[in-house]
Amino acid sequence: MQVAVVLYEGVTALDAVGPYEVLRSMPDTSIRMVGPAVGPVMTDSGVLTLGVSHTYASTMTPDVVVVPGSERGTLAAMNDPELLGWLTAVHATTRWTTSVCSGSLILGAAGLLQGVPATTHWIAQDLLPQVGAIPSPQSRIVHSGKIATAAGVSAGIDLALWLAGELCGREAAEVIQLAIEYDPQPPFDAGHPSKASAEVLAAARERFARSA
Amino acid sequence: MQVAVVLYEGVTALDAVGPYEVLRSMPDTSIRMVGPAVGPVMTDSGVLTLGVSHTYASTMTPDVVVVPGSERGTLAAMNDPELLGWLTAVHATTRWTTSVCSGSLILGAAGLLQGVPATTHWIAQDLLPQVGAIPSPQSRIVHSGKIATAAGVSAGIDLALWLAGELCGREAAEVIQLAIEYDPQPPFDAGHPSKASAEVLAAARERFARSA
């Protein structure tokens, strides 16, 4: 099985690395970090680079595609004809085409979410209808046909474990969960707008308004 | 505030990127990925590279240090005089010196865990006494003085959020939790040996035996 995780300028590192760390450990699986050219891609911090290992052109039959999101680079990716053309082409033969965070807007820009239930980062839920998708703002993972989308950033880990279960069975997925010791114990409980205080929600909205 | 996340050959990507994604968003904070030389470092998958942004030599007064772990590169890092010398030097002036997963063994190799309660990945708990540390195998985060260690791989996210709370206050940490939508909903509950089935635990042990 071949898994392709897309990288592009401004990608959010954890969106890509969460699913990568899970999916690379599936039995008999090879993983690739794909982009227009092999080499480093700058993430949205402006500090950390992640390396593209394989070009789009050399990766035309992945079984699983993961499109991560970005705090700053989503719009550019939504208008990148090479990325959109590649997504459209490979989607024809994938087993699963997936996204994390605002990556669903990139799937949508490629025309893959017309009438499809989907999710994204909570700050971007309102944008889903603009690409033809049906928002599902209370869901951390949404799947329909062979499209699966995850909520913001860290939700990619949950998506990937669920996907590993679908592809390799529950026991294999649980082995991966144990290997990455994914027994989350957040010290606070503010990870969704429905749980955060009004002050925290306002501050987070302000942060995203500044970075947009 | 300056945060330095250490990268070395064979590092586990999520060990580094989890804390990076949290700590880089603390107010008035700059983050650095540090190593012996600027440029890409291969992770333990043999596929994904992460980029060093700053050398050890140019990063002598970080406020926070994060040492990630590795499935294959821990022993080499424990014997890297440049890394150990840097850790010993900067620890003198850090506010927090921290680790994720087997990164605690690297802190221990630098002599920083003598008589200090600490944790690590569940598979490596038995090795902690060899570097002078007091194992705390049921704890996801252990802190003592200005040393804080986390359990395996994904525990770095919990550690970093806790640390953000200590450094910037609970509200600022909750804003980061909301920004990365860290409202974990694992599809299975096998993330710790105390929760996994005997079959899953045996398979995970076999995986680590093969990679050791």
Cα angle B143, B148, B153; round to 5: 120
The percent of residues above 90 in pLDDT, for chain B, comes to 95
Residues of chain A with C-beta less than 8 angstroms from the C-beta of B196: 174, 177-178
Q: How far is CA A87 from the centre of its chain?
A: 13
Mean pLDDT of A72-96: 97
B82-116 tens-digit pLDDT: 999 999 999 999 999 999 999 999 999 999 999 99
Q: Assign A151 a pLDDT band (cuts: 50, 70, 90).
A: very high
Q: Assign B72 a pLDDT band (cuts: 50, 70, 90).
A: confident
Closest CA to A157 of A139, A175, A174, A177: A177
CATH 3.40.50.880, applies to A2-186: yes
Alpha-carbon span A148 to A94, nearest angstrom? 12
CATH number of the domain at B2-185, out of 3.40.50.620, 1.10.357.10, 3.40.50.880, 3.40.50.300? Answer: 3.40.50.880
Alpha-carbon span B23 to A13, nearest angstrom? 13
Closest CA to B40 of B49, B28, B53: B49
- pTM (whole model) above 0.95: yes
Rounded to the nearest 5°, which phi and psi values hold at B65? -115, 135
What distance in Å separates residue A209's CA from the closest CA in chain B? Answer: 12
Indicate whether A176 pLDDT > 80: yes
Closest CA to A172 of A64, A3, A24: A24
**Spatial contact of B68 and B5, defined as CB atoms under 8 Å apart:** yes
**Spatial contact of B106 and B121, defined as CB atoms under 8 Å apart:** no
pLDDT at B71: 87
Q: Which residue of chain A comes nearest to B27, CA vs CA?
A: A207
Residue A135 contacts by C-beta under 8 Å, 6 or more apart in sequence?
A118, A119, A120, A125, A126, A128, A129
Mean pLDDT of B169-197: 97
State whether the Cα torsion B47-B53-B56-B61 is positive or negative: negative
Rounded to the nearest 5°, which phi and psi values hold at A152? -70, 145
| Listed range (A122-126, A207-211, B153-157) with the worst mean pLDDT | A207-211
B6-36 tens-digit pLDDT: 999 999 999 999 999 999 999 999 999 999 9
Q: Assign B212 a pLDDT band (cuts: 50, 70, 90).
A: low
Q: Assign B137 a pLDDT band (cuts: 50, 70, 90).
A: confident
What distance in Å separates residue A97's CA from the closest CA in chain B? Answer: 19
A23-35 tens-digit pLDDT: 999 999 999 999 9
The percent of residues above 70 in pLDDT, for chain B, comes to 100
Mean pLDDT of B187-204: 97
What distance in Å separates residue B179's CA from the closest CA in chain A? Answer: 6
pLDDT at A197: 97
Residue A100 contacts by C-beta under 8 Å, 6 or more apart in sequence?
A15, A16, A18, A19, A66, A67, A68, A69, A149, A150, A152, A153, A155, A156, A159
pLDDT at A179: 97
pLDDT at B44: 95
Indicate whether B166 pLDDT > 80: yes
Mean pLDDT of B157-179: 98
pLDDT at B211: 75
Please tell me whether residue A3 adopts helix, strand or coil conformation: strand
Please identify every residue of B annotated as catalytic: 101
CB within 8 Å: A196 and B185: no
Strands B49-52 and B39-42, how do they pair? antiparallel
CB within 8 Å: A180 and B152: yes
Of A45, A58, A100, A177, which to mutate for an interface test with B (greatest number of B Cβ within 10 Å)?
A177
A40-56 tens-digit pLDDT: 999 999 999 999 999 99
Indicate whether A212 pLDDT > 70: no
**The residue to which tokens 């087993």 are assigned:** A95
The structural domains of chain A, with segments of one domain joined by +, span: 2-186
Q: What torsion, rounded to 10 degrees, do the Cα atoms A165, A103, A204, B51 define?
A: 90
Q: Assign A211 a pLDDT band (cuts: 50, 70, 90).
A: confident
Closest CA to A6 of A26, A25, A31: A31
pLDDT at A164: 98
Cα angle B47, B50, B55; round to 5: 140
CB within 8 Å: B171 and A203: yes
- The interface predicted TM-score (ipTM) is 0.96
